[in-house]
Structure 1
Amino acid sequence: MDFKEILNKLSFSEDLTKIEAESAMNLIMSGDISDPQIAAFITAMRLKGESVEELTAFVKVMRSKAVKVEVNVDGAIDLVGTGGDQSGTFNISTSASFITAAAGVPVIKHGNRSASSKCGSADVLEHLGAAIELGKEQVEQVYKEVGMAFMFAPMFHPAMKHVMPARREVGFRTFFNILGPMVNPAGVQRYVIGAFNKETAEKMVHILANLGTEFAYTFNAHDGLDEVSLTSQSEIFELKDNLVSTSIVFDPESIGFEKVEMKALMGGGKEENAEILTNIMANKATDAQKGIALLNAAFAIQASGKVKTLEEGKELAEEALESGKARKLFNDFVDATNDAMGTFKF
């Protein structure tokens, strides 16, 4: 089946088979398809609604074309969100990542610049002095030195250059927002992923199950955040032992967190978000800012297998922050990235 036949099938709102979906994505990622055809494809998929089988096939192709980062990912975690929740919060998962790493859980985070918010993970880290455009060997070096690394997505998914013009032209959220969090170039087997709605969170956990993922939490908060929230309850899906749970309604008060107003979690541009992250690392942030970072870190620590319960994860997260370990790890990370890039200043 050639690409025009695939587009014709989609025009009738018919789902693609696994083979058709893999073929379509391979053609797109190889640069063999024109921008108008790619735009037609992602638009048709959006209108039809992407199936779990289609998305699983897309993830497989994207993973196969990624530059592989070769490190030991036993017990390692990636904390990431789909974006697109339009909330305007600060960089919560990025802040939680450093707390998680400081608690002794290896973190190898995959992220990008902002697409739908004012400040993405790459933007805030770069503003705080980290070198983000590291290649494979450089990321491997930082991870081995610090136990925490950041993989800037464009460096590891060169085939995505064929998709970007069409994505920019259509201007709406596409299935690539869903794929991005699941194509970690280091082959992480444990994920904590926030989604922009409950339906997407459920799709993602089933995709990860199809891909043989060791453990995953996917979630969406009732307030719309692609994080575990402090303003409301959240819908959590769990993948464990190849089994996917039905959604679990989680209340942060159940493990001792106090609920807050959404305005207490708001961020801004990179300057404001960098200041919030710095204050969290120094244990000088507001209770709301610190609390939501600790909450998401607790989920990550528990998802890594280091502890059995969220309460234990919370204790380790609090100790990592209050002891100064998180601040030290963040500073070590920034230094290590610049050292790896060759721009370290004594």
Structure 2
Amino acid sequence: MAGCHSVGFLQLARLPLVAQESVGGRQLGTTPTTRCTARRIVRVARADAAAVVSVPATGRSASHTYVDTERAHASLVPSVAVPDAIREPSSGTTNGGGGDGMLLASPAFMAAALAAAAATTAAITVSRIRGRRQRASGTASAARRSGHSSTTAPSDATLLPFIERLLRGEREFTEDEAAHATECMLDGADEVQTAAFLALLRRNGAESAAVLAGMATTLLRYAQPFPALDTPTLDLVGTGGDGANTVNLSTAAAIVAASCGARVAKHGNRSASSLCGSADVLEALGVRIDLSPEGVAECVRQCGIGFLMAPRFHPALATVAPLRRRLRFRTVFNVLGPLINPARSAYQLLGVASPHLLEVMADAVSRLGTTRTWVVHCGGLDELAPIGPAEVIEVKADGSQRRFRVHPEELGMPLCELEDLVGGDAAANAATIQECFHGRPGPVSNAIIVNAGAALTVSGLAPTLSDGCARAAHALLSGEALRTLEQWRTCARQATATTIR
């Protein structure tokens, strides 16, 4: 086919498109966005364009095709042809995705593709699992007839009951059900089942507070335990995914809060959706991030702050990490990070990248338990910033919630533009933070101050947000924040030498 590239995995707006075949010209697709013929042509309709993907017939009578670069069966799926006209150049994302072969699509087109991918992947899963059950049943029957017992027990790590419920359009799951589904994924559920479950969960809008809390409960149970500390800890963390590529404001604010007396146990990772994650910028600032639980706890005790590197504390997540990279679309795992800090911080300043997540995350925090948490969103950012009013939901220990707004001008801060807060790579962001810690005024310093001030207020070290911001500003101007950073560098090096094996 002229002007086309052949790829083994069709990506549609970062969503894998998985096609069912038809046999004898009968259409097997179950949604209006997919249509299959005997030539195995999948046509996805769009108002202003149509993408046609043709897979030549192979002469087999298989009931389905699963197109996947890693595991494509050459005898069933020789290739998929993608016209140049609908390809998008590499975006260079760092979320295990991006790269060549992305297709442009409208939001409606993306939703339709996700529905098609989820429904078809689930249908494939049902077919595979039922086939396995039939084979297992036949083997067991033969063993009984021959007087021998089977030595291989079927795995209990199946997501099939949840997938079948999602296919029926169900959206409500209890915390216990979500916890059990997470156990199945971490204990080695079939990869196709996991993909179907995650896609359908998102398609159905079933990523509820109960689901988040249930999944977080299981992930915390599987996590590396964190040593008990004498004083409650604070975490400043966001869901990420806002796409703004700002300087690492919450990471810098965590250091400022520690210099004002807070005990910070910051949970984070490398970049997923931005140019620089919290782990990346801390490394560029000279802080060791690969500490053991004991090493992190020692840093918190000695200098008021420690960093819990997520992959080190959540080794079980390595089970689903390769699949998440291959899916290349957002799943519920992308917003779970703030809820699974193994230090189980009593206080949180928790940012969400989307306004609709404010109430969902606040309810999830309430279910999991907190002493005091502020869930915040500001103009598309998952943190506070002097770009305009911020929405805040406060969650207290008794589960009560209070919603209010933070106006920067009421704190004596001039408004700035989002562009004033945009950063770069790890080295550039580290340099900017160092300049702020040396007392340079400006929009980035103000953004650090308002986040640190909120953290001090949440943790009870400041009676009001105005007082918290005043303390944070003094820490920047007096050099206290810089001294805390220097102490942390030293403490982390010493902890590495004595606790890392």
Return the offset for 1:18. Answer: 2.8
Instruction: For 2:384, give the aligned amino acid.
Output: V
Return the offset for 1:75. Answer: 4.1
Q: Secondary structure at the match of 1:249?
A: strand
- 5 Å-filtered alignment, 1:306-321, equals 306-321=461-476
Instruction: Verify the 8 A CA contact 1:108 1:151 in the aligned structure 2.
Output: yes
Matched, 1:84 2:225: no
Task: Compute the RMSD of aligned alpha carbons.
Answer: 1.5
Instruction: Verify the 8 A CA contact 2:370 2:397 in the aligned structure 1.
Output: no
Matched, 1:250 2:399: no
Structure 1 residue corresponding to 2:296, chosen from 114, 139, 145: 139
- 5 Å-filtered alignment, 1:1-346, equals 2-14=158-170, 15-30=172-187, 32-49=188-205, 50-72=207-229, 74-221=231-378, 223-284=379-440, 286-342=441-497
* Aligned residues between the structures: 340
Flag as ranges the 4+ runs of structure 1 deviating above 6 A: none
Counterparts of 1:116 and 1:124 in 2: how far apart (Å)? 14
Instruction: For 1:18, give the aligned amino acid.
Output: E
Counterparts of 1:73 and 1:282 in 2: how far apart (Å)? 32
Counterparts of 1:312 and 1:80 in 2: how far apart (Å)? 21
Counterparts of 1:76 and 1:104 in 2: how far apart (Å)? 11
Counterparts of 1:129 and 1:181 in 2: how far apart (Å)? 24
Q: Of Structure 1 and Structure 2, which has the larger fraction of its residues in helix?
A: 1
Instruction: For 1:184, give the aligned amino acid.
Output: N
Return the offset for 1:246. Answer: 4.8
Instruction: Verify the 8 A CA contact 1:65 1:157 in the aligned structure 2.
Output: yes
Instruction: Verify the 8 A CA contact 1:205 1:244 in the aligned structure 2.
Output: no
Return the offset for 1:38. Answer: 1.4
Instruction: For 1:305, give the aligned amino acid.
Output: G
Counterparts of 1:333 and 1:151 in 2: how far apart (Å)? 14
Instruction: Verify the 8 A CA contact 1:282 1:327 in the aligned structure 2.
Output: yes
Instruction: Verify the 8 A CA contact 1:35 1:165 in the aligned structure 2.
Output: no
Return the offset for 1:258. Answer: 1.1
Return the offset for 1:34. Answer: 2.3
Q: Secondary structure at the match of 1:151?
A: strand
Counterparts of 1:78 and 1:140 in 2: how far apart (Å)? 14
Larger deviation, residues 292-301 vs 62-71: 62-71
Return the offset for 1:73. Answer: 6.3
Instruction: For 1:59, give the aligned amino acid.
Output: A
CA-to-aligned-CA distance 1:260-310 (integer Å, 9 cap, x gap): 0111101011111111111122112x4101000000000000000112211
Instruction: For 1:35, give the aligned amino acid.
Output: E
Counterparts of 1:76 and 1:6 in 2: how far apart (Å)? 36
Counterparts of 1:209 and 1:335 in 2: how far apart (Å)? 37
Instruction: For 1:85, give the aligned amino acid.
Output: D
5+ residue gaps, structure 1:
none
Instruction: For 2:413, give the aligned amino acid.
Output: F
Instruction: Verify the 8 A CA contact 2:174 2:214 in the aligned structure 1.
Output: no
Return the offset for 1:7. Answer: 1.0
Instruction: For 1:260, give the aligned amino acid.
Output: C
Identity level (%):
34
Question: If the length of structure 2 is used for normalisation, what is the TM-score?
Answer: 0.66
Return the offset for 1:322. Answer: 1.4
Counterparts of 1:44 and 1:281 in 2: how far apart (Å)? 46
5+ residue gaps, structure 2:
1-155
Q: 1:280 to 1:168 in 2, by over 3 A?
A: same
Counterparts of 2:230 and 2:456 in 1: how far apart (Å)? 14
Instruction: Verify the 8 A CA contact 2:457 2:465 in the aligned structure 1.
Output: yes
Larger deviation, residues 323-332 vs 70-79: 70-79
Counterparts of 1:36 and 1:338 in 2: how far apart (Å)? 43
Instruction: Verify the 8 A CA contact 2:159 2:194 in the aligned structure 1.
Output: no
Return the offset for 1:242. Answer: 2.0
Say which structure, 1 or 2, has more relative contact order (CA 8 Å, 6+ apart): 1
Q: Secondary structure at the match of 1:198?
A: coil
Instruction: Verify the 8 A CA contact 2:258 2:304 in the aligned structure 1.
Output: yes
Question: If the length of structure 1 is used for normalisation, what is the TM-score?
Answer: 0.95
Instruction: Verify the 8 A CA contact 2:395 2:402 in the aligned structure 1.
Output: no
CA-to-aligned-CA distance 1:23-66 (integer Å, 9 cap, x gap): 11111122x21222211111111111212111111111111111
Counterparts of 2:431 and 2:489 in 1: how far apart (Å)? 15
Instruction: Verify the 8 A CA contact 1:298 1:314 in the aligned structure 2.
Output: yes
CA-to-aligned-CA distance 1:110-150 (integer Å, 9 cap, x gap): 00000000000000111222111111111122111111000
Instruction: Verify the 8 A CA contact 1:88 1:268 in the aligned structure 2.
Output: yes
